[in-house]
Amino acid sequence: MAFDGPKSIFVLTGAGVSAESGVATYRDQGGLWSKVRLEDVATPEAFARDPERVQAFYNARRAGLNGISPNPAHEALARLEREFGGTLTLVTQNIDDLHERGGSENVIHMHGRLRRSLCAICGDTREHHSDLHVTEVCEACGETGTLRPDVVWFGEMPHHMELIFERLEQADLFVSIGTSGAVYPAAGFVSEAGRLGIRTLELNLEPSDGSFQFDEARHGPASKLVPAFVE
């Protein structure tokens, strides 16, 4: 590891860490938001307007998780969790489960999880690996048509924010991997880390919009950069 002796590392991952596993990123050329308007699929208003369309968008992406595998970046972060003597906090913006499948045991999913359902009425969440339909009945409250993917849409509050800021404050190294830094509150973590005097490192395919805010930035594919960082 290039930084000497960190005792508490806070890692933030984004879509770039799963790109080499075949998961589409959002804002790269050919990314999800170049194919569909986020206002049509990734807001509570879109779900209220056209639930079938929104369910179809997420059903296709959930089905896509069946045919993919974690890559060396996920595996290296799992190795870091097992072998690092200090505290590791792994926060992901990703809704896939590739960190878990790569061997990480403690993953904080701030934007939720695609393989879970959420009842919009009673708040019940549970594992859900198959398609979701507008006719589905919530097993917890019995309402029909209220189940949605347990993901965080624009305008909604990301999950575990109190815990995340608590862990960030305790860290002495902040590492951002494969994220464009375009979406808040995650995009603000680097400036918050800087304010707290925490060293900051970016590992990304190319300089992100916020690259200049990091103490150090290394550019290239996550499958190469992350294992090299962990060694």
Tell me which residues touch ligand BJW (CB under 6 A).
14-16, 19-20, 25-28, 31, 42, 93, 95, 111, 151-152, 154-158, 161, 178-180, 182-185, 204-206, 208, 221-222
Active-site residue identified among 111, 133, 159, 219: 111
Count Cα atoms within 13 angstroms, Cβ side, for 19. 24
Q: How far is the CB of 111 from ligand BJW (least distance, A)?
A: 4
In angstroms, the Cα distances linking 82 to 76, 79, 136 are 10, 5, 40
**Single-letter amino acid, residue 16:** G
109 is catalytic: no
Minimum distance, C-beta of residue 176 to ligand BJW, in the bound complex (Å) = 9
15 is in an annotated binding site: yes
Does 22 belong to an annotated binding site? Answer: yes
Please give the torsion angle defined by the CA atoms of residues 206, 208, 214 and 219, in that order, rounded to the nearest 10 degrees. -10
The answer to whether 180 is annotated as binding is yes
Cβ-proximal residues to 193 (8 Å cutoff; 6+ apart), any chain: 10, 168, 171, 174, 200
Nearer to ligand BJW, 206 or 231 (CB): 206
The CB-nearest residue to ligand BJW is 16
The one-letter code for the residue type at 45 is E
For residue 20, give the 3-state DSSP assignment.
Answer: coil
Least distance in Å: CB of 49 to ligand BJW?
16
Residues identified as active-site: 111
Annotated binding site: 14-33, 58, 61, 93-96, 119, 122, 138, 141, 178-180, 204-206, 222
